[in-house]
């Protein structure tokens, strides 16, 4: 490949039209970017384009050969299939719904990938390259057995009138996806069979949507058109489908595990048998992230800082970890304080070591924000992929499977370090980060792991039982009217991260609803349970139509699953007289959730209720009956529980901690951090590794500094 004639030059490809059974032939021309003739740009994935949830068409992973200026050129299989789709006569003007340009920019062909200097220079220009293209053509890959179902769903959703969606947005009651006869009339649309939703999930899980580079390509595009095999659709259609899912509140429930709950095995076509693999029941819907990126940046014209951009698109994938940073440089605010603090980040350099680049990003965040907000983006220790990173520096190439605790709007008021003066470290690019803070305790015991397992829910009552019946915190405001919390109330506040108030419930409703939710989770996984040395041993058993609420209420000895519920009931029996947690109300909520997946609660519609501190009466004048769905409860609770555990602290309080926390890890409030952090001490005095952030009731609003506890210096390494 001949060198480019100038620093702002690009290569463009002319794909010769021809029949499908002939070899693809192309020619390459060089042009100055600013004066280049009209061209399109191709957006695609270099690797396997198929969905992990679908049975893909047969595609060899060996390189294919095309003719480039009459000479053989090796290209990857997915690019070869894209070129065949583009060079067919059907690709002539009209097939895409828009005129296709004679020239097209394709990164794998137009950049000399073996020349690191050229590669870095061209990568730095890619935002301009895609921004100047007439159309960005998105090649999603060949069709598979699920594509037709997905396209039917796409067309139905995008065709729903805006007036119908507006009525849904204004309604407080969510539409039931399981009742197509009702929602199809309300929305004036053709109903979607439940199995076709599986096709939609397979479609949005295509590997294309996971690429880090497509964020830039989609955001910068003037115009987008999608090709999936023989199917062609516009960005407007794609975006409208997601508007539908957002307005109907179905985005959160469109998961394999949810749909398979309502589909009998005989109703699941063979093309979806990969959905039956329990390891594939969690999906990311990366396509939604792509849609959000274009809507947020291109259509709304917003700008964003570097670290926030890295957080938003952290689940995206790339083969070179440096590209997690380089791929977003063209869409972040060019005046971002982070770039001002560390100008070297602007320079695309594939020879810079990855740990050095990520360290620069972390230091730039600290220097520009004057706080330790960067710490909340640190992944679990077993997720780190880049070797040689300090414990406090996020590995942006690693998944961050839990959401930062302060990411919700209702948590915006948290400031655990209020009153602690943050000292900006003077040294950049140092692997050791000086810090100061208050040690508030240590982890004494932990719940079982994943919140998606019944062992987690079964472990909560024994964990809480290790606390004093009434918990007085040394950090709580002694001038407050109530300075003690019952164990179940404290457990409820910990699970909700004190955000249950966003539902505007009374204390009795809120904490009884939490107990009902735990009972519901135990009910969902009926088991044969036995107690051996105070440990609950669980063996799966088939569901049965027992009168389980009555059995729990009566503490039935002759009911096999009762040992699973007994620790929770025993804990409730020791609650203080004025405890806001009520078993009858909890069982009523649990029964409604078990039968209808919804719980009806009285909510003060004026949002001005003055609920009594311990009673069940709501004090406002305006009340309304609202429906809280099981999915809504799961969303509120499980967002905080993802890859976290509940811990009992050495002062007998409770906290929400990273799943990788261990007994003996210390709990600190660090100056410059909105939330407390779990730190692990080293053999060197006052040297610590960062484990992750924590929620600790009674210390989220600056109580640590106000307590008079000693402020200590330490070093994060």
Angle formed by the axes of helices 507-524 and 562-573, to 10°?
A: 160
pLDDT at 156 (0 to 100): 96
Residue 205 has pLDDT above 80, yes or no: yes
Q: What pLDDT was estimated at residue 411? A: 53
447 and 652 in contact (C-beta within 8 Å)?
A: no
* CA distances from residue 185 to 195, 245, 248, 577 in whole angstroms, order as listed: 20, 17, 14, 51
Q: State the residue for tokens 């997601």.
A: 242
Tokens of 27: 């020619």
Any idea where the domains of the chain sit in the sequence? 1-301, 303-401, 402-446+646-717, 451-642
Confidence grade of residue 471 (pLDDT, cut at 50, 70, 90): low
- Which residue did the predictor score with more confidence, 90 or 577? 577
pLDDT at 696 (0 to 100):
93
Identify the band that residue 206 occupies on the pLDDT scale cut at 50, 70 and 90: very high
* Cα gap 526→648, rounded to integer Å: 26
Of 39-43, 216-220, 271-275, minimum mean pLDDT range: 271-275
Q: What is the pLDDT of residue 129?
A: 97
pLDDT higher for 266 or 505? 266
Mean pLDDT calculated for residue range 40-45: 96
d(CA 404, CA 251): 21
Residue 563, pLDDT > 60, answer yes
Q: Contact at 8 Å (CB) between 40 and 129?
A: no
Q: Which residue has the higher pLDDT, 549 or 607?
A: 549
Question: Lowest-pLDDT range, 58-72, 233-247, 401-415, 449-463?
Answer: 401-415
Is pLDDT of 353 > 70? yes
561 has a pLDDT exceeding 60 = yes
CA distance 208 to 126: 18
Inform me whether the pLDDT recorded for 613 exceeds 60. no
Burial class of residue 402, CB neighbours in 10 A (0-12, 13-18, 19+): buried
Q: How confident is the model at residue 452 (pLDDT cuts 50, 70, 90)?
A: low
Minimal CA–CA distance to 442: which of 598, 663, 617? 663
Residue 152: per-residue pLDDT: 97
**Of residues 316 and 613, more confidently modeled:** 316
8 A C-beta contact, residue 683 and residue 710: no
What is the mean predicted confidence (pLDDT) over 6-19? 92
Cα end-to-end span (Å), the chain: 46
* The pair of three-digit structure tokens given for residue 362, joined into one six-digit string: 């972390």
Q: Encode pLDDT of 58-112 as tens digits.
A: 666 677 899 999 999 999 999 999 999 888 665 544 456 667 889 999 999 999 9
Indicate the pTM of the whole model: 0.85
Residues whose CB falls within 8 Å of the CB of residue 434, separated by 6 or more in sequence, listed in order: 423, 425, 713, 714, 715
Least confident of 475-479, 581-585, 592-596: 475-479
Residue 502 pLDDT: 63
pLDDT digits (tens, 9 = 90+) for 156-166: 999 999 988 88
């Amino acid at each position: 490949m001949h060198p480019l004639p100038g620093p702002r030059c690009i290569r463009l490809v002319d794909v010769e039209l021809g029949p499908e059974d002939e070899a693809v032939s192309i020619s390459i021309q060089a042009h100055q970017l600013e004066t280049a003739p009209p061209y399109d740009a191709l957006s695609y994935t270099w690797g396997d384009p198929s969905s992990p949830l679908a049975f893909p068409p047969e595609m060899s992973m060996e390189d294919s050969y095309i003719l480039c200026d009459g000479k053989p050129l090796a290209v990857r299989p997915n690019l070869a299939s894209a070129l065949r789709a583009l060079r067919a006569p059907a690709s002539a003007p009209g097939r895409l719904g828009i005129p296709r340009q004679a020239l097209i920019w394709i990164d794998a062909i137009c950049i000399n990938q073996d020349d690191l200097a050229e590669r870095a220079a061209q990568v730095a220009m890619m935002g301009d390259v895609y921004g100047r293209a007439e159309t960005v053509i998105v090649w999603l890959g060949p069709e598979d057995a699920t594509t037709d179902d997905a396209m039917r769903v796409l067309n139905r959703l995008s065709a729903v009138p805006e007036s119908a969606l507006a009525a849904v947005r204004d309604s407080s009651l969510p539409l039931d996806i399981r009742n197509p006869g009702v929602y199809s009339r309300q929305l004036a649309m053709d109903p979607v069979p439940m199995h076709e939703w599986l096709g939609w999930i397979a479609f949005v899980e295509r590997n294309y949507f996971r690429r880090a580079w497509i964020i830039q390509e989609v955001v910068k595009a003037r115009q987008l058109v999608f090709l999936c095999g023989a199917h062609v659709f516009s960005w407007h259609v794609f975006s409208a489908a997601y508007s539908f899912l957002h307005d109907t509140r179905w985005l959160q429930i469109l998961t394999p595990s949810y749909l398979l709950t309502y589909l009998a095995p005989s109703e699941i076509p063979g093309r979806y048998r990969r959905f039956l693999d329990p390891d594939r029941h969690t999906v990311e819907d990366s396509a939604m992230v792509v849609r959000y990126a274009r809507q947020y940046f291109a259509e709304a014209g917003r700008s964003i800082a570097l670290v926030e951009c890295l957080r938003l698109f952290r689940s995206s994938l790339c083969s070179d970890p440096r590209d997690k940073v380089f791929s977003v440089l063209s869409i972040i605010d060019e005046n971002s304080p982070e770039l001002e603090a560390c100008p070297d980040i602007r320079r695309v350099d594939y020879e810079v070591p990855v740990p050095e680049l990520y360290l620069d990003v972390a230091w730039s965040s600290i220097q520009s924000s004057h706080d330790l907000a960067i710490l909340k983006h640190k992944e679990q220790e077993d997720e780190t992929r880049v070797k040689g990173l300090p414990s406090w520096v996020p590995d942006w190439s690693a998944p961050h499977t839990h959401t930062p605790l302060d990411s919700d709007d209702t948590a915006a008021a948290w400031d655990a370090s209020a009153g602690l003066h943050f000292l900006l470290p003077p040294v950049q690019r140092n692997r050791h980060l000086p810090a100061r803070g208050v040690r508030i305790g240590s982890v004494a015991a932990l719940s079982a792991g994943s919140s998606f397992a019944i062992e987690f829910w079964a472990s909560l009552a024994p964990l809480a039982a290790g606390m004093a019946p009434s918990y007085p915190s040394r950090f709580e405001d002694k001038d407050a009217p109530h300075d003690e919390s019952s164990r179940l109330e404290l457990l409820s506040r910990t699970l909700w991260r004190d955000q249950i108030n966003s539902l505007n419930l009374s204390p009795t409703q809120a904490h009884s609803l939490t107990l009902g939710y735990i009972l519901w989770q135990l009910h969902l996984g009926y088991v044969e349970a036995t107690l051996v040395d105070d440990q609950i041993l669980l063996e799966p058993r088939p569901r049965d139509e027992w009168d389980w609420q009555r059995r729990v209420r009566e503490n039935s000895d002759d009911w096999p699953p009762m040992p699973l519920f007994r620790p929770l009931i025993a804990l409730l029996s020791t609650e203080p007289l004025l405890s806001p947690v009520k078993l009858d109300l909890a069982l009523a909520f649990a029964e409604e959730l078990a039968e209808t997946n919804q719980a009806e609660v009285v909510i003060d519609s004026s949002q001005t209720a003055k609920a009594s501190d311990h009673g069940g009466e709501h004090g406002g004048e305006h009340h309304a009956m609202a429906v809280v769905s099981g999915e809504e409860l799961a969303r509120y609770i499980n967002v905080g529980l993802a890859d976290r555990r509940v811990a009992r602290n050495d002062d007998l309080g409770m906290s929400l901690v990273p799943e990788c926390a261990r007994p003996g890890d210390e709990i600190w409030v660090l100056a410059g951090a909105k939330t407390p952090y779990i730190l692990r001490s080293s053999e060197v005095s006052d040297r610590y590794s960062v484990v992750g952030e924590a929620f600790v009731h009674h210390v989220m609003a600056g109580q640590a500094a106000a307590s008079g506890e000693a402020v200590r210096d330490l070093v994060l390494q």
